[in-house]
Amino acid sequence: MFVDIACPACKIGNISLEPHTLAQGASFSCNRCGAEISVANESRNKLQNSVTEYDTYRERLITLKEDGNRPV
């Protein structure tokens, strides 16, 4: 799942990133100016945990929807 964010450097371009890959140490570049975004080594574990929690929550919502229970 890719996420597009506005480039913090040029404010014109977009950076399309994939959170799982970002947590593994990849960097992603602005399509306009080439500025790169990456996560510091000491923050990767925290990001990975957050991505995992999001995936768990998303899967739970899918299960509820399939079961006919609409989350409020």
Domain ranges for the chain, please list them: 3-67
Residue 33 neighbours by CB distance under 10 Å: 14
**Coil, strand or helix: which one is 21?**
helix
Query: 55 falls in which pLDDT band (50, 70, 90)?
Result: very high
Residue 6: the pLDDT is 97
71 has a pLDDT exceeding 70: no
Contact 17, 28 (CB under 8 A): yes
Looking at residue 70, its pLDDT comes to: 63
DSSP structure string for 51-64: HHHHHHHHHHHHHH
The pTM is what? 0.76
Beta bridge partners of 17: 3
pLDDT tens digit string along 21-52? 999 999 999 999 999 999 999 999 999 999 99
Query: Mean pLDDT over all residues of the chain?
Result: 92
